[in-house]
Amino acid sequence: MKNTISWLATAATLMATTGALVAPAQAQGVIKIGEVNSYKAQPAFLEPYRKGLELAVDQVNAGGGVNGKKLELIIRDDNGNPGDAVRAAEELVSREKVDVLTGTFLSHVGLAVTDFAKQRKFFFLAAEPLTDKIVWQNGNHYTFRLRPSTYMQVAMLVPEAAALKKKRWALVYPNYEYGQSAVATFKELLKKAQPDVEFVAEQATPLGKVDSGSVVQALADAKPDAIFNVLFGADLSKFVREGNTRGLFKDREVVSMLTGEPEYLDPLKNESPNGWIVTGYPWYGIQTPEHSAFRKAYEAKYNDYPRLGSVVGYSAIISLAEGMKKAKSTDTEKLIAAFEGLKVSTPFGPIIYRASDHQSTMGAYVGRTKNVDGKGVMVGYRYLDGAKFLPSDAEVSKLRPAGG
């Protein structure tokens, strides 16, 4: 009996010791998130985006992590180049042994990583690129997308454009996947809503290299009733400055993608246009509990106000964390199954990742721009639920490749 008690005591001691040794090893386990993005090429959006990523990682880890493990971000810059993005993704997967991939900003870069995910059978959450091809024509089993797509945001703006009852429209856009698809969708949807519409001028400019003088002059020469603009970033600033100088926008309606985002509206300062109909992010006026909590935490950490990139980065990490919790794993197939129909609480409220096309139902704010004391803001805005601006599952089945 004595020997039995002694053996049990020894076993208990060994188990306690082993437990003490094993527990820290488990606690030290990490989930590696590989993030690829155009930080040097698109800093206006991506610096706030990175802050959003880091805030979410801090919050998740402070709450105990995911499945007993802490999140770790491993970030690579793609230089705004699809080839560099694929090389970065390969390095993250092969050398860094990341569990998932996320990120990308420019549409053609996002498409390159979407294809990489398909070839490598690896989970990829496209955080920001807007091209519809990521979830439709080039959609695949391994790729999901967070932000409301080009189609969704154009569909939000078209009813506003049609209500203007303007017949002659001019178009200006960056000449790559995002700009091309935005204009194609605008033409298609506006023609359906207003069959007598005419498109009298079209200016496709090299991304980041707009010749604002010639573009503005060409648009003015066409004498349109209204303009649909897809330029953003530095291109937008040059276009607005030249358009103001030459009176292009005087007594002329403008409908503009993304211009209400503080990343692009703030730099315009006292040149900010009045009355443009835009999609954007009026961070200063959103009073929902989800957004108030996010804004408070963001401002406390960075002593700065959030931009749309901040919301996107934050929501990407929260989505990954929720998906991993639901899957109880980072296994690719289990994570895909968990993401199909996944519900996530974001600063914009609840969203769902649709099983049919892997697109989230995150929406956007639509309103008009106003120059207030030398600063551009959005007024008369409202949040539009992305779910209401997506095609049905039956329509999606015709858009996506078989088995995608």
pLDDT tens profile 41-56: 999 899 999 999 999 9
CATH architecture designation of domain 151-284+366-388: 3-Layer(aba) Sandwich (3.40)
345 pLDDT exceeds 70? yes
> What mean pLDDT comes out for the span 363-379?
96
pLDDT score of 207:
85
In the chain the first and final C-alpha atoms are separated, in Å, by 66
Among the listed ranges 108-112, 206-210, 263-267, which one has the minimum average pLDDT value? 206-210
Domain ranges (residues) in the chain: 27-150+286-363, 151-284+366-388
pLDDT score of 404:
67
149 pLDDT exceeds 50? yes
C-alpha–C-alpha distance, residues 271 and 236, integer Å: 11
> What mean pLDDT comes out for the span 305-324?
98
State the pTM of this model: 0.90
Please report which confidence band the pLDDT of residue 3 belongs to, taking 50, 70 and 90 as the band edges: very low
Q: If you count DSSP H runs as helices and E runs as strands, how many of each does the chain have, helices first?
A: 13, 14
Same fold, 27-150+286-363 and 151-284+366-388: yes
pLDDT above 70 covers a percentage of the chain that reads 93
pLDDT score of 159:
97
> What mean pLDDT comes out for the span 159-176?
96
pLDDT score of 210:
87
Among the listed ranges 151-155, 157-161, 162-166, 174-178, which one has the minimum average pLDDT value? 174-178
Contact 353, 340 (CB under 8 A): yes
> What mean pLDDT comes out for the span 276-295?
97
Three-state secondary structure call for residue 84: helix
Q: Which of 346, 280, 290 is nearest to 319 (CA)?
A: 346
203 pLDDT exceeds 90? yes
Please report which confidence band the pLDDT of residue 401 belongs to, taking 50, 70 and 90 as the band edges: confident
Neighbouring CB atoms inside 10 A of 394's CB total 8
pLDDT score of 265:
95
pLDDT above 90 covers a percentage of the chain that reads 89
Q: pLDDT: is 232 or 7 the higher one?
A: 232
Please report which confidence band the pLDDT of residue 403 belongs to, taking 50, 70 and 90 as the band edges: low
What is the pLDDT of the chain when averaged over all its residues? 92
Residue 397 main-chain phi, psi, to 5 deg? -60, -25
Q: What is the DSSP string of 185-240?
A: HHHHHHHHH-TT-EEEEEEEE-TT---HHHHHHHHHHT--SEEEE---HHHHHHHH
> What mean pLDDT comes out for the span 158-183?
96
What residues have CB less than 8 Å from 303, skipping those under 6 apart?
none
Class of domain 27-150+286-363: alpha beta
DSSP 96: S
Among the listed ranges 17-21, 37-41, 108-112, 385-389, which one has the minimum average pLDDT value? 17-21
92 pLDDT exceeds 80? yes
